[in-house]
Chains A and B, each alone.
Chain A
Amino acid sequence: MMAAFSVARSSCGLFSGLRVSFRSLAHIKYGAAAAAAASPQTPLPPDCRRYSVSHLSVRERIEQKRKAALIGGGQKRIDAQHKRGKLTARERVELLLDAESFVETDMFVEHRCSDFGMEQDSNKFPGDSVVTGRGRINGRLVYVFSQDFTVFGGSLSGAHAQKICKVMDQAMTVGAPVIGLNDSGGARIQEGVESLAGYADIFLRNVLASGVVPQISLIMGPCAGGAVYSPALTDFTFMVKDTSYLFITGPDVVKSVTNEDVTQEELGGAKTHTTVSGVAHRAFENDVEALLNLREFFNFLPLSNQDPAPVRECHDPSDRLVKSLDTIVPFESTKAYDMLDIIHAIVDERDFFEIMPNYAKNIVVGFARMNGRTVGIVGNQPKVASGCLDINSSVKGARFVRFCDAFNIPIITFVDVPGFLPGTAQEYGGIIRHGAKLLYAYAEATVPKITVITRKAYGGAYDVMSSKHLRGDVNYAWPTAEVAVMGAKGAVQIIFRGKENQAEAEAEYVEKFANPFPAAVRGFVDDIIEPSTTRRKICSDLEVLASKKQVNPWKKHANIPL
């Protein structure tokens, strides 16, 4: 009897739309009964089954479980999470998705471990340590999982993995991106190999989904051990400054194995991964900023490889002339300028979402829009290391180009490259192998490719940077372009070896090659354009290239020089 009454009494609970609880559903469906239940004498609702007087009804149990699922590890742990400057798994989902768009799955899933006292009711949490489901970002479909640090430190149980796999499978069948919000202490040690199996299940799905739907990881807490490989397999990994870590082994293990003293932050913090290792693509100040930026970022992406690059309503005229570009390239070919200035001036509304802004800064990559359509932008950065290609910049560029190609995003390349960086460090590090990745990525890409040579395009690097020879669709040169095998000085030393008047020879070489004509007369560039018209031309080219169809020869998969 008591149990039934408690249902009735608590039927007026108010919940926000996101957290649609069974209570409020019950309230609507059984409104009449609930209203009547105000007095204890009222009979029970007819479908309120009881197994015995001393047990809860199913309805009560459903409600209780939902309620339990909503508070995860409990208020104390939620407070602790907040104290660390972190949001809870559900709060994160709420911020990431459009209001009231979250549809949760597997709220009732619980872990199945019966060792080490885990089978006790007090150790069971409905939904376990992850929140999963689907929702909308700016109206567009997305699948999400958000690890709940308040439940066993967000550790990965078999059930936890199974929940993630389920949304990934659904995302694949529907063709929609997957966003993972990672905040997990690692494997559920109590479950042993089951947990490891769970990781592998996720890894496999990450790999199968790769190139089919965009996958994004946002690291919002610890992510250590084998767990790191899931973010590593996804297309983009973002981090939150000061509260997130990624490492294979933590500082303690590092100390015991290599005797290195290192803090978590130094070993695998946001700064390390966005500037030194290149593991993460960008870092944000805090949870709120990270999630809001993720919403913005999501808007650049197509839902899957079956969709074209999205076109958003655009207020920036596609035929806008950009006068400032006519003077941006300095007269002295050794003087630097900022490639970002060119990019900002050309793209819609100066809106450029840079990927890896603090890693391998000699190449700039990121997303922007041209007349509303998402494009991927790659540019050599003369401001840093003269914009040369080295190991890190090649790999950064290659991965970005391949993402764009996989998801039908046109690639616009701004070239000012003096060549590959020479030296033992680069050669020993395998610049040949790594440089080949960028070459490979550009060559295999079948999306629209537009190239603008702003200044130098020297040597092999010229070939690599989306040249005509690698099936560039439209290749432009600015009047300041110099396409040549190498700079004047080096060339003269070879061509005119031993000649007395090197300066004169150099001048001759410059006259001959330090201009766009050698490439233009051979048709290696399609046109020499005024820099101020670049935006107008690219917008119009993209319009035409939207229907580009190009297919590579059939293969099981290509063999990029990893």
Chain B
Amino acid sequence: MLLAEFQRKKRVISVRVEKTELTWSKTSRRCPGDGSVTGSEEERRTMADDTTKTDVQIPVTTDVKTPRPKKAPELPILERRNWLIHLHYIRKDYDTCKAVIKEQLHDTRGMCEYAVYVQALIMRLEGKIQESLELFQSCAILNPKSSDNLKQVARSLFLLGKHKAAIAVYNEAGRLNQKDWEINHNLGVCYIYIKDLKNAEERLNAALQQNKHDLTFMMLGKMHLLQADTEKAIEVYKSAVEFSPENTELSGTLGLLYMQLGKYQKAFEHLGNALTYDPNNFKAILAAGSMMQAHGDYDVAMNKYRVAAHAVPESPPLWNNIGMCFFGKKKYVAAISCLKRANYLSPFDWKILYNLGLVHLTMQQYASAFHFLSAAVNLRPRMSELYMLLAVALTNLDDAENARRSYEQAVQTDESDPLVNLNFAVFLYNQDDKKAALLQYQEMERKVNAQVENNSNVEFDPEMVEMAQKMATALQVAETVYWNKAGKDGKNAQRSSSNKASRSQQPLGTNQTLGQAMSSAAGYSKNIQNTAEAEVNAPSPPPDPPGDPDDDDHDVDETPETAKLKEKKRKVKAAAE
């Protein structure tokens, strides 16, 4: 059917050609009389020709009348519609494009290289990768000297997961075109997939030397992350952001990496940049929001989250963070419903369960808290804070025996958090086991002193300090801990002036997180409601990077949660009392 249609069209053309030919030959007589110009002679002649004839030798006007049949028909140039195919292709008007290609291929019996090439590109976009590979291979046969064809063959192989074959073809293409960054870039990507990171780095750097592209920076950064070399990855992203400051993906990722390293000031700067250029950037919103949240700016964080919730309404980390925002604002019921939504969306995320446990402890719903915490412990059995919280819940459920076992587990798995020991000491003291309590207290002192040695700027949460002091009095031990030397007056004064104030003065990113964490313990003398209200602690550097740092999205949520965790401990204290 198509053939018939085609021939009909052809006939139409030839008829029309005859008509126009007359006009053109007529005008040729009126052609500008500039005989001296080279080429005008021939042009005049060609003008007289119509498209169906080629014979150049025959002089102009007489030729028009010669009977047609003797002349061989003009052979249409194979590439004549390439521009049209390209134009439709780049406009993503694939239907029209395919129609033109079909016609062109029919016309040239599949010999039009560009038509085949674009057909293959469209097929690949449609997911028919194997077919596209075959078409690209036939392109490479039609024109073996084009590196483009080989590049596309390799690309299809790559998409089919045949990385080694793709590398071989890319190398071949590289021989035809030495200066193509794309070949080097793609080779680098292939090497990453076959885990040959050394070659990958070399190739990606070569690509960057030839021409800088955001994509190459991104792959190189990812490769360093695969090697768990965050410092190097940061270097790469830094130069990438310098090269293309408006790429929100790059600045967002850099911000997250800084966040992982605990450099909050820098992280906030880059995340802020990302949000300036793209206020809807989900990743950056979540990360920046978590940092605001950690500083107690719940309303600002909520504003950002609303944007994110509109864009990605079913994100577990987002609802987790929103829930903890409500928690920070003491809207516990809303917090619980948001966290439960997060939990529904991602039932095996221990962080959400942890936060649910925390909120339920705050709400004095110890039985529910126990369930969430024990689920979290099952998912993440090596985390001391979880056992500690579980112990608090059990203490409140009058199950001293299991609480003690849980504390023991917590103390056993913990390495540096004095809070665990302090809580345990309080618990033991309440159980009238003063000897064991003293041991835990000394262990806590040891951890605190170790921290002070490592970093003399460590600040401890005044609530925790106060609690520890009370404990010391109760146990009748001399206080040898760091904060005594610092002088109680200052601490107490600061505490009374409200923690919130002091918090907000602290610049983002100071490394006081652990100290802050401890502060949560100090609320023991207050009643529960009050402790709950004491503001959120500063963000702790993810103490225990949950999961592997595989996905950026995951990294984002960690911080807010850990911040929350700390609060919980404060509750713990209260419970213990």
**Real binding pair:** no
